[in-house]
Amino acid sequence: MSEEIELTEESSDDCCSPHNERKSHHSENTKRNLVSRLNRIEGQIRGVKGLIEKDTYCDDVITQISAIQSALNSVSKILLEGHLKGCVLDRIQEGDMEVLDEVLVTVHKLMKK
């Protein structure tokens, strides 16, 4: 029974283990970078809300929204790169080719925007 506990604890570190809830395994530096970017985006969104409340000229609001979309795309690119180099690579090396379909669905979602 102690072997089962050890295996469970070991697999909990694996972001893509089919037996656990999947989790990412970003470095602390990457997490800080992503959180910082998302905090800035959050501030930009509050700013756009304020612009709308002040009846700011539509073109100016749209320009700000475009900047937010660009910032979100940058966050997505960082996450996708980490996912491909980490989770996806690990799962392919383990013989789990289903991950390719998952990635294709994700890329399709990103490209629709």
Cα torsion 12, 95, 86, 35 to 10°: value is -60
The CATH architecture to which 2-111 belongs is: Up-down Bundle (1.20)
Taking only the tens place, the pLDDT of each residue in 90-109 is 999 999 999 999 999 999 99
Domain spans of the chain, in order of start? 2-111
Q: pLDDT band at residue 113, thresholds of 50, 70 and 90?
A: low
pTM of the model: 0.75
CA-based R_g, the chain, Å: 19
Q: Check whether 18 has a pLDDT greater than 60.
A: no
Q: What pLDDT was estimated at residue 48?
A: 98
pLDDT tens per residue across span 19-74: 457 777 788 999 999 999 999 999 999 999 999 999 999 999 999 999 999 999 99
Reading phi first (left if > 0) and then psi (alpha if -120 to 50, else beta), residue 27 is in beta
Residue with tokens 């690119």, as numbered in its chain: 77
Q: Where are the alpha helices (DSSP H) in the chain?
A: 2-11, 28-53, 58-83, 89-93, 98-111
- Best CA proximity match to 82, nearest among 26, 36, 32, 41: 26
Q: What are phi and psi of 14, to 5 degrees?
A: -85, 120
Q: Please provide the size of the chain in residues.
A: 113
pLDDT band, very low/low/confident/very high, at 5 (cuts 50, 70, 90): very low
Q: Give the residue-averaged pLDDT of 80-95.
A: 94
Q: What is the reported pLDDT for 15?
A: 53
pLDDT of residue 3: 38
